Amino acid sequence: MSLLIDETTAEAVETGVSDTCSLDNYLSQPDHTMDDRIAAARERLGTDVVLLGHHYQRDEVIRFADYTGDSYKLSKVAAETSAKYMLFCGVHFMAETADVLGQPWQQVILPDLNAGCSMADMAEIGQVEDCWDSLTQGLGIRGQGLEGKVVPLTYMNSAAAIKAFCGERGGLVCTSSNARGAFEWAFARGEKILFLPDQHLGRNTAFGMGIPLSEMVVWDPYQINGGVTPDRLKAAKVILWKGHCSVHQRFLPEHVDRVRRDEPGMQVIVHPECRWEVCQKADTVGSTERIIDAIERAPEGASFAVGTEIHLVNRLAKRFAPLGKRVITLDDSGCLCTTMYRISPQHLAWALENLVEGRVVNRIKVDEDVKQWARVALDRMLEVKA
């Protein structure tokens, strides 16, 4: 069934919400009362809307997703879907990416605009532009600029303006599942990589390709010339932006040691946003999709300590227990991504019921001038296999 929303109405009331559909009326209701409402609104909207859900979403939200996945998989869905509305249950940079990759007649909705990403916020476009200028001077390059010398490569977890910056300067975007391929792509086109904004993913990927730590420098945007001497800069193959994920950085090497001591035979599997020291001690390092795949393919009786966001870990524990596989969190308390958590059943119901009424709330729209180059960088990313 397809319920067609009048385009003019949707555009005209993009920011206005009637009293009945005001968010406050939803937030005062308990989670479970949203289930039937979400299902009914989904039913009415039919194929006009597609729900994309990142693996870190809460169970009460992700159960309604048409597609679940890691950042790479969800980007591909966004690039290929013909739904008029993409409702993104994830964080801001993911919704921006869907808008860049979607068609001009498609609209992307983020149910809660406060669902950001602290890592993405660690690189601002002005800082990145300053860094680029400093690199030009620090490397003693005059006239022709950095093209062919330094390739800018940004992790998906960054603002659209930074993706555009990379696209315009011969660089690209990567996700945790195709970072190695993206590094190879970049090294085929330049001598050095400027990797934004996650130092850990950058370090783990480069080290996995055989680049020693001594050939990597960390660029601190709050220090003059990034806090890197010209000699070290010239010798470096990889310039790592000083950013991190506050969720994954909480996993420590001691956590792996404890599992090794207390749980013999248990495999340790972590996300590449974890520190290098943790990744070095783990058995497997991979994106959320890869983590799920590794557990799916393991034989009955296998057990895993997983270093990633707690909602995914708990979901895997529940799903695989009846199949005789044990999944626990790598640390003892479990790391929560508070911004992913912001997408609640109430926000989801609110966004969907407004759509049923012909109103697009919380639309994510990337400026056209940014979109053009961000798309170049994202298209290059999609060419690099996960």
Least separation, in Å, of the C-beta of 100 and ligand SF4? 18
Cβ–Cβ < 8 Å for 22, 64 = no
- Return the residues of window 93-152 that contact ligand 13P according to CB under 6 A: none
Pick 72 or 241: Cβ nearer ligand 13P: 72
Residue 109 near residue 362 (C-beta atoms within 8 A): yes
**What residues between 176 and 235 interact with ligand 13P by CB under 6 A?**
176
Question: How buried is 385 (Cβ within 10 angstroms: 0-12 exposed, 13-18 middle, 19+ buried)?
Answer: exposed
Round to whole Å and give the CA distance between 275 and 199: 9
Residue from 50, 77, 108, 117 that binds ligand SF4 (CB under 6 A)?
117
Q: Is 236 or 292 the residue whose CB approaches ligand SF4 more closely?
A: 292
Residue 210's region, left for phi above 0, alpha for psi from -120 to 50, else beta, is left
Spacing of C-alpha 310 from chain mean position: 16
Min CB(358)–ligand SF4 separation in Å: 31
- Decide whether 99 or 309 has the Cβ nearer to ligand SF4: 309
The reply on whether position 89 binds ligand 13P by CB under 6 A is no
Contact window for ligand SF4 (CB under 6 A) among 175-183, 240-248, 357-365, 375-383: 240-248
Interface with ligand SF4, residue 175, by CB under 6 A? no
Angle between helices 368-383 and 92-101 (to 10 degrees): 90
Distances (CA, A) of 349 to 1, 39, 78: 19, 9, 21
Q: How far is the CB of 280 from ligand 13P (least distance, A)?
A: 19
Choose the one of ligand SF4, ligand 13P, none that binds residue 196, judging by a C-beta under 5 to 8 angstroms depending on kind.
none
- Per DSSP, 327 falls in state E
Task: Give the strand order in the sheet containing 238-241.
Answer: 172-174, 150-155, 192-196, 238-241, 216-219
The DSSP call for residue 300 is T
In whole angstroms, the minimum distance from the beta carbon of 14 to ligand 13P comes to: 27
Of 108 and 156, nearer to ligand 13P (C-beta) is 156
Minimum distance from residue 327 beta carbon to ligand SF4 (Å) = 18
Work out whether 57 is an interface residue with ligand 13P (CB under 6 A).
no
**Furthest-apart CA atoms within the chain: distance in Å:** 64
Task: Check binding of 71 to ligand SF4 (CB under 6 A).
Answer: no
| Interacting residue with ligand 13P among 273, 352, 354, 362 (CB under 6 A) | 273
Interface region with ligand SF4, contact rule CB under 6 A, candidates 72-80, 113-121, 280-288, 316-324: 113-121
Among 5, 101, 119, 166, contact with ligand SF4 (rule: CB under 6 A)? 119
Tokens of 239: 């310039």
Q: Does 112 bind ligand SF4 (CB under 6 A)?
A: no
**Residue 99, Cα to own-chain centre: how many angstroms?**
14
The two three-digit tokens of residue 36, written as one number: 């039937």
Find the part of the chain contacting ligand SF4 (CB under 6 A) among 210-218, 222-230, 244-252, 318-326: 244-252
Query: Is residue 283 within 8 Å of 267, Cβ to Cβ?
Result: yes
Asked if residue 51 binds ligand SF4 (CB under 6 A), the reply is no
Query: Which C-beta is closer to ligand 13P: that of 192 or that of 311?
Result: 311
Work out whether 314 is an interface residue with ligand SF4 (CB under 6 A).
no
The three-class DSSP label of residue 220 is coil
Q: Which of 288, 303, 344, 346 binds ligand 13P (CB under 6 A)?
A: 288
Region of 236 on the Ramachandran plot (φ > 0 left; ψ -120 to 50 alpha; else beta): beta
E strands, 79-229, are 85-89, 107-109, 150-155, 172-174, 192-196, 216-219
Nearer to ligand SF4 (CB atom), residue 204 or residue 354: 204
Q: Residues interacting with ligand 13P, by CB under 6 A? A: 55, 70-72, 157, 175-176, 245, 273, 287-288
Q: Residues interacting with ligand SF4, by CB under 6 A? A: 91, 117-119, 157, 245-247, 273, 309, 337, 339-340
